[in-house]
């Protein structure tokens, strides 16, 4: 592996994002840090409202401003702190170096434009020197890359199924060969039978182009098949982080254990799903000490007294828990 591949390609350091809601402050992301090497895939896992999408939007600098306020932290892509860039400079980064696949393909597609022209538009934005004919050909190539015949270039989004629409969105996201792909629950809005096909396609293209990817999901099964590293997010912070193998083999944080227990196990017929008891905390009024303590079966007074820090319990495996993992 070259030196370049070994160093952090994306480095997120201590980012904090709040939303203002009337007089209340929603603490959406509370000091999240992680690193990614070139070509790596990181799974951001957690329940709805944990802050996963806000982290991705902060990286792309597309937070709604206001009510969202980026309170602090650094986001370095290839050594450049994105937070220091002007909006004009960010426009060149979006689509070109970083692209995002959203949950619902309809939010990313313009119903009044043909799918081919939408891919062409992305290509034109970032390839000013190439002729229109050349770019039209490349837009057709992108359609074929996602297994849509180029003959369908002139059709509109409503003429495509949900899975095909998401494949068009993937073609748009990959059109400029981005270095980093942010995929926010890319299959949630799709039919179950189509989900696996779309995930397979994302995996295949990511490997082909060696694109780094952050995959946002609530599904640990999807992470197992797709990611190299995992960051489990709870109440806007990372509670467990590390290499996928280490996390799956030595699951340590009680919240991560709860996520695994709530996965359906088709090999054990009698197995009943065990949902994590209780509800995620109110982000405008986070509990003292450990944010998971109201739902944690191991909680003690110590947990409620002080906010646990991330601890490295094995090389590269971090856990935010004052009790678990100490025995290792
Ligand atoms: Fe549970 Fe305590 Fe660990 Fe929090 S710090 S996860 S309450 S054991």
Establish whether residue 298 lines the binding site of ligand 1, counting it when its CB lies within 6 angstroms of any ligand atom.
yes
Establish whether residue 276 lines the binding site of ligand 1, counting it when its CB lies within 6 angstroms of any ligand atom.
no
Mark 215-249 as b/e (b = at least 16 C-beta within 10 Å). Answer: bbbbbbebbeebbbbbbbbbbbbbbbbbbbebbee
Establish whether residue 201 lines the binding site of ligand 1, counting it when its CB lies within 6 angstroms of any ligand atom.
no
Establish whether residue 169 lines the binding site of ligand 1, counting it when its CB lies within 6 angstroms of any ligand atom.
no
Q: Say what the pLDDT of residue 40 is.
A: 95
Instruction: Kindly give the residue spans of alpha helices, DSSP state H, lying in the chain.
Output: 3-6, 52-60, 87-93, 105-108, 115-126, 132-145, 162-174, 192-209, 220-226, 244-249, 254-261, 301-305
Ramachandran angles phi, psi of 229, nearest 5°: -125, 160
Banded pLDDT at 271 (limits 50, 70, 90): low
> What are the structure tokens assigned to 230, written together?
């995992």
Compute the distance from residue 298 Cα to the ligand 1 centre, in Å: 6
Banded pLDDT at 112 (limits 50, 70, 90): very high
Instruction: In whole angstroms, give the CA distance from residue 130 to residue 202.
Output: 27
Establish whether residue 10 lines the binding site of ligand 1, counting it when its CB lies within 6 angstroms of any ligand atom.
no
Lowest mean pLDDT among 1-5, 46-50, 132-136, 291-295: 1-5
Establish whether residue 290 lines the binding site of ligand 1, counting it when its CB lies within 6 angstroms of any ligand atom.
yes
Could you tell me whether strands 24-37 and 180-184 are parallel, antiparallel, or unpaired per DSSP bridges?
Answer: unpaired
Compute the distance from residue 323 Cα to the ligand 1 centre, in Å: 6
Banded pLDDT at 59 (limits 50, 70, 90): very high
Establish whether residue 323 lines the binding site of ligand 1, counting it when its CB lies within 6 angstroms of any ligand atom.
yes
The whole-number average pLDDT for the span 309-325 is 92
- Say whether pLDDT at 14 is over 90: yes
Compute the distance from residue 101 Cα to the ligand 1 centre, in Å: 34
Instruction: In whole angstroms, give the CA distance from residue 140 to residue 324.
Output: 53
Q: From atom 6 of ligand 1, which residue's Cα is the shortest distance away?
A: 321
Token pair 């806000």 in the structure block, residue: 54
- Say whether pLDDT at 181 is over 70: yes
Banded pLDDT at 265 (limits 50, 70, 90): low
Establish whether residue 303 lines the binding site of ligand 1, counting it when its CB lies within 6 angstroms of any ligand atom.
yes
């Amino acid at each position: 592996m070259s030196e370049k591949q070994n160093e952090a390609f994306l480095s997120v350091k201590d980012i904090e994002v709040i939303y203002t809601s009337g007089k209340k402050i929603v603490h959406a992301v509370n000091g999240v840090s992680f690193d990614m090497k070139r070509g790596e895939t990181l799974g951001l896992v957690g329940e709805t409202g944990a802050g996963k999408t806000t982290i991705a939007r902060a990286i792309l600098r597309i937070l709604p401003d206001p009510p969202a306020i980026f309170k602090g932290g650094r986001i370095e892509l290839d050594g450049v702190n994105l937070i220091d860039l002007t909006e004009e400079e960010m426009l060149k980064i979006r689509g070109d170096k970083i692209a995002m696949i959203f949950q619902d393909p309809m939010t990313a597609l313009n119903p009044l434009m043909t799918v081919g022209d939408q891919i062409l538009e992305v290509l034109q934005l970032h390839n000013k020197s190439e002729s229109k004919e050349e770019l039209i050909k490349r837009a057709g190539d992108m359609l074929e890359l996602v297994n849509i015949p180029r003959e369908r270039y002139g059709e509109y989004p409503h003429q495509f199924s949900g899975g095909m629409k998401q494949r068009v969105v993937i073609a748009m996201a990959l059109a400029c060969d981005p270095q980093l792909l942010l995929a926010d629950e890319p299959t949630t809005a799709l039919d179950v039978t189509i989900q696996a096909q779309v995930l397979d396609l994302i995996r295949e293209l990511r490997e082909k182009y060696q694109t780094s990817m952050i995959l946002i999901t609530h599904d640990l099964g999807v992470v197992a098949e797709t990611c190299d590293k995992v960051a489990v997010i709870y109440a806007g912070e990372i509670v467990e982080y590390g290499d996928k193998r280490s996390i799956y083999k030595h699951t340590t944080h009680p919240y991560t254990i709860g996520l695994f227990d709530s996965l359906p196990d088709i090999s054990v017929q009698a197995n009943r799903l065990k949902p994590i008891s209780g509800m995620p905390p109110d982000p405008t009024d986070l509990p003292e000490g450990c944010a998971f303590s109201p739902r944690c079966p191991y909680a003690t007074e110590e947990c409620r007294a002080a906010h646990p820090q991330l601890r490295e319990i094995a090389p590269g495996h971090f856990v935010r828990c004052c009790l678990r993992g100490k025995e290792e």
